[in-house]
């Protein structure tokens, strides 16, 4: 995700605002076409990438997409599956077959119980927004140590930086292990001072209203 700050296309638009003629262009996220014209449906920055006009909202809640890396919390346990809160409008479903362990029917609670947190990946989101999660993959596991802080999900991409540059700087600055997920959750672990450093920085960054403010705050804090 980009905050749409770069390039000549930067323009802050509101829902219903006309964005210009649609000829020769495609409409992307946050844009609809009516009578040969594009209109914004979101409050955000207009972007033109490869002849596709889209609007990147200044603020939005997390919408799960296939392939997303997330931190989820178990909220319901059934005999053969778990339901997870993934900070989105819909709960994620983790079937027994996609857990990293061999789970006997009826023994799911032995592996993950209500309140446990896990690293998972979104396997599939169907038309009815059923979200299927998997824990089969590198780095996907139950979280047994460290702490998790919530962070605005639309700012996660800026938090990570290009090729994780910001995240790497933060790891070096705080001497902590840090993992940021697509659903706006940040896990970190280290000694007491490292944990405190990360928490202080996150509290500072959370107050940002947009990507450019966050980037300048990160630059000031970590350089």
Partner 1 sequence: MGGYGDVQLLREDGKRLDGRALDEMRPVSIEVGVLPAAQGSAMVTHGLNVAVAAVYGPMEAHPRKIQRQDRAVIDVRYNMAPFSTSDRIRPGFNRRSQEISKVTAEALESVVLVELYPRSKIRVEIEILAAEAGTRCAGITAATAALADAGIPMRDLMIGVASGKIENIVVLDLDKAEDNYGQADLPAGILPNTGEIAFLQMDGDLSPDEFNLAMEYNFKAAREIHDIMVNALKQKQQRGEA
Shortest Å distance, C-beta 14 to partner 1: 5
- Our finding on whether 54 is near partner 1 (CB under 8 A) is no
Site for partner 1 in 97-116 (CB under 8 A): none
**Closest CA relative to residue 53, chosen from 77, 83, 17:** 17
Contact 83, 73 (CB under 8 A): no
**Closest CA relative to residue 119, chosen from 89, 84, 159:** 84
**Rounded CA separation 153/47 (Å):** 19
Q: Which is nearer to partner 1, 12 or 148 (CB)?
A: 12
**Rounded CA separation 184/199 (Å):** 15
**Closest CA relative to residue 93, chosen from 133, 140, 122:** 133
**Rounded CA separation 100/38 (Å):** 46
- Our finding on whether 61 is near partner 1 (CB under 8 A) is yes
Shortest Å distance, C-beta 54 to partner 1: 12
Site for partner 1 in 192-211 (CB under 8 A): 208-210
Q: Which of 28, 43, 95, 204 binds partner 1 (CB under 8 A)?
A: 43
- Our finding on whether 15 is near partner 1 (CB under 8 A) is yes
Identify the DSSP state of 142: B
Shortest Å distance, C-beta 176 to partner 1: 26
- Our finding on whether 213 is near partner 1 (CB under 8 A) is yes
Q: Which of 28, 57, 95, 146 binds partner 1 (CB under 8 A)?
A: 57
Q: Which of 47, 71, 73, 91 binds partner 1 (CB under 8 A)?
A: 91
Q: What are the φ and ψ backbone dihedral angles of 208, each rounded to 5 degrees?
A: -70, 145
Shortest Å distance, C-beta 49 to partner 1: 19
- Our finding on whether 41 is near partner 1 (CB under 8 A) is yes
Secondary structure (DSSP) of 142-160: B--SSEEEE--GGGHHHHH
Q: Which of 51, 128, 220, 223 binds partner 1 (CB under 8 A)?
A: 128
Site string for partner 1, 153-192 (x = CB under 8 A): -x--------------------------------------
**Rounded CA separation 167/172 (Å):** 9
DSSP run (H or E) holding 68:
none
Question: Interface residues with partner 1 (CB under 8 A)?
Answer: 12, 14-18, 30, 32, 39, 41-44, 57-61, 89-91, 127-129, 154, 208-210, 212-213
């Amino acid at each position: 995700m980009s905050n749409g700050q770069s390039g000549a296309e930067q323009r802050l638009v509101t829902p219903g605002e006309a964005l210009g003629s649609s000829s020769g262009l495609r409409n992307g996220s946050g844009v609809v076409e009516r009578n040969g014209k594009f209109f914004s449906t979101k409050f955000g920055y207009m972007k033109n990438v490869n002849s596709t006009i889209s609007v990147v909202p200044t603020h939005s809640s997390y919408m799960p997409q296939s392939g997303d890396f997330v931190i989820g919390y178990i909220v319901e346990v059934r005999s053969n599956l778990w339901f997870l809160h993934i900070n989105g409008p819909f709960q994620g479903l983790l079937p027994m077959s996609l857990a990293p362990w061999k789970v006997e029917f009826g023994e799911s609670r032995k592996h993950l119980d209500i309140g446990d947190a896990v690293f998972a990946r979104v396997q599939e989101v169907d038309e009815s927004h059923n979200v299927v999660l998997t824990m089969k993959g590198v780095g996907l596991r139950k979280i047994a140590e460290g702490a998790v802080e919530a962070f605005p999900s639309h700012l996660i991409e800026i938090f990570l930086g290009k090729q994780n540059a910001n995240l790497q700087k933060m790891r070096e600055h705080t001497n902590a292990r840090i993992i940021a997920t697509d659903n706006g959750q940040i896990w970190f672990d280290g000694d007491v001072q490292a944990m405190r450093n990360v928490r202080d920085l996150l509290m500072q960054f959370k107050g940002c209203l947009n990507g450019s403010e966050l980037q300048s705050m990160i630059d000031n804090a970590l350089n």
